[in-house]
Amino acid sequence: MTKIAVFPGSFSPFTIGHQAIVERGLLIFDKIIIAIGENNDKKYFFSINDRIKWIQNVYLKHPKIKVKSYKGLTVDFCKKTGANFILRGLRNSNDFQFERNIAQTNNQLSNDIETIFFMTPPELSHISSTIIRDIIKNGGDVSQFLPKEINL
C-alpha cells in the first residue's frame, strides 16, 4: 500500500520548522501532500497563491512532495487524495494539547485516518509563523527562519 500523508496547515509563511517535519515525514511516507487550508472566515497575511508558490519552490525537485490548497474538512481532503495519514508537528505541550483534540476528533470523524506526529528538533521549537509575521510587519529580516528557497 502506498503510504500517503497530508500535512495540513496555514504555512503563513512556511518555515524551517515545517521543513523539518516534512523531512521526517519522508522517512516513513511514500508521498506527502502539503495542504494549505483555506478558511473563508480567516483573513490571511499572505495570499494562498504566494504560499503555494513558495512551498513549491522549496520542493521543486522532489517527486514525493506535492503542494495543494483545500477547503472544508481535512479528513474529506484526505479521502479525496487517497491519504490515510495526517502529518503534524509538535513543538511543546501547548501544541500537544491542541493537536490531541484535533487528531482524536478527526479519527472519530474518519477512523481509517491516523495522525502521525513528529517532534520538532529542539533548535527549531521556538519558530512560529505568527512571530515571523510580526517581525515582517516591523521591518525585520526573517531569512534565517525560512527555507533558503523562500525570499520574503
**First vs last C-alpha separation in the chain:** 39
Residue 1 or 88: the one with the smaller Cβ distance to ligand ADP is: 88
Q: Shortest approach of ligand ADP to residue 2 CB, angstroms?
A: 23
C-alpha cell at 17: 520548522
Distance CA 8, CA 145 (A): 20
Residue 31 or 91: the one with the smaller Cβ distance to ligand ADP is: 91
Residue 11 or 70: the one with the smaller Cβ distance to ligand ADP is: 11
Helices (DSSP H) in the chain: which residue ranges?
16-25, 48-58, 74-81, 93-109, 129-137
Rule CB under 6 A: which residues touch ligand ADP?
9-11, 15, 17-18, 20-21, 88-89, 91, 95, 120, 124, 127-129
Q: Shortest approach of ligand ADP to residue 61 CB, angstroms?
A: 22
Q: Residue 92 has what DSSP assignment?
A: S
Q: What H or E segment, with its residue span, contains residue 33?
A: strand 31-37
Helix (H, G, I), strand (E, B) or coil at 105: helix
Residue 31 or 88: the one with the smaller Cβ distance to ligand ADP is: 88
Distance CA 146, CA 27 (A): 22
Residue 1 or 70: the one with the smaller Cβ distance to ligand ADP is: 70
Q: Residue 141 has what DSSP assignment?
A: -
Q: Shortest approach of ligand ADP to residue 93 CB, angstroms?
A: 12
Nearest position to ligand ADP, beta carbon: 17
